[in-house]
Amino acid sequence: MIVSLILISAVPLSILTSLELSITRNPGIIQYRSHGWLRECAKWDSIHQRFLVSTMFDAGIAAIDIGKVQMEEKVMLRETDMAGNASLGITIDEDRRQIIVVFADVVGHKHSAVAAYDLDTWERNYITHLRGVEEGKEEEGVTMADDVAIDSNGNAYVTDTISNEIWKLDSKGNLLTKIRNQAFKQTNGLFSNLIGLNGIVYHPDGYLLVIHTIGGDLFKVDVTTEDVKVVEIIDGSSLKMGDGLVLLSPNQLVVVAATSVKLLESLDGWKTSKVTKIHRSGPMHRVATSGTVRDGKVYISYIVGGGFPRTHVITEAVF
Ligand SMILES: *[C@@H]1O[C@H](CO)[C@@H](O)[C@H](O)[C@H]1NC(C)=O
């Protein structure tokens, strides 16, 4: 995300203007009016047939009801207990009709939290403040919670993109452990851990798939044994700058990066994988960060808003 903002500030204004025009002319793009410049993550809420987006610096969530001629975001949540922090990764827990939201202090890296809200009433089911956990006692230090996945029992897994660890919470929001592994830490270069563990999804066979943004490693993490393996990318493709992940089917994973969206397939339970398709047609200057599945199709969301009046876009990734 931080890197994404550096990328966008390097694009000359004239190019930006023509890229913006290409959005206006593309009827396939879902475009909605918004009151903010930055929107981190969008997920499809199939129960209510709407996209939910994290609105970042107001620690909120907004809804976009699709199908209207003029789509506009509607504020559903502002977490006043997390004022000054940003809402980042979200995931929809359909079984429990709730949304899980990650919050973090993206500037000072002093605070991280994860919370769950009822998808119908927006009542808060839990909020848990996250720090490290060392032998039962909390430790202080810099953290930045980034993205979240839930397993079939409602346990939540939250990536810490600075310490390269994964918090695990039970379905009531109690902090159980922090999954640590030397393999999560990159060793090649000073900035190699600047943005570490980021996008995360739960695979129905009992493991997590997690991407390390700068290093480009895709990890398979067994949630029972906490065993960690690097998924071997047999075609030699790089997943560097990979951000959001989407599990399209048990054998298909989408890796969203600012520059391209890659479709990976695995035929051996994510021991090895290869990139089978690449999608490049999104408005690149808006900087893709996350993806979601709606009616079997993949939709990509972008962090940066633009235009007048200000809009954000969500596009379908056709592979
Ligand atoms: C983030 O939220 C925590 C918990 O409410 C609060 O203590 C902290 O001051 C907030 N951070 C910022 C930068 O405002």
Q: Which ligand 1 atom sits nearest the alpha carbon of residue 107? A: 13
CA distance 135 to 239: 34
User: What type of residue sits at position 137?
Assistant: K
Count Cβ atoms below 10 Å from residue 38 Cβ, excluding itself: 20
Greatest CA separation for the chain: 57
More confident residue, 288 or 5: 288
Confidence at 69, pLDDT banded by 50, 70, 90: confident
Kindly state the average pLDDT of the residues 22-42: 82
Q: Please, what is the end-to-end C-alpha distance for the chain in angstroms?
A: 24
pLDDT above 50 for 146: yes
Closest CA to 199 of 183, 219, 222: 219
What is the residue with the minimal CA distance to atom 12 of ligand 1?
Answer: 84
Omega cis (within 30) before 309: yes
pLDDT above 50 for 135: no
Kindly state the average pLDDT of the residues 184-193: 73
Phi, psi of 123 (to 5 degrees): -65, 145
Listed by start position, the domains of the chain span 2-316
Per-residue pLDDT of 198-209, as tens digits, reads 999 999 999 999
Closest CA to 313 of 283, 280, 274, 276: 283
Mean pLDDT (the chain, rounded): 89
Tell me how far the alpha carbon of residue 170 lies from the centroid of ligand 1, in angstroms: 23
What is the residue with the minimal CA distance to atom 2 of ligand 1?
Answer: 82
How high is the pLDDT of residue 1? 55
Per-position DSSP letters for 292-319, written without gaps between them:
EEETTEEEEEESB-BTTTTEEEEEEE--
pLDDT above 90 for 118: yes
CA distance 85 to 89: 13
| Ligand 1 pocket residue status of 217, Cβ below 6 Å | no
Confidence at 139, pLDDT banded by 50, 70, 90: low
Please report, rounded to a whole number, the percentage of residues in the chain having pLDDT higher than 90: 71
Q: Which ligand 1 atom sits nearest the alpha carbon of residue 84? A: 14
pLDDT above 90 for 145: yes
| Ligand 1 pocket residue status of 141, Cβ below 6 Å | no
pLDDT above 70 for 133: no
* CB neighbour list of residue 236: distance below 8 Å, 6 or more residues apart: none
Tell me how far the alpha carbon of residue 313 lies from the centroid of ligand 1, in angstroms: 29
Helices (H), the chain: 2-9, 13-24
What is residue 141's three-state secondary structure? coil
Q: Say yes or no: domain 2-316 is CATH 3.40.1710.10.
A: no
Using alpha carbons only, give the angle 117, 121, 123 rounded to the nearest 5 degrees: 40
pTM comes to 0.92
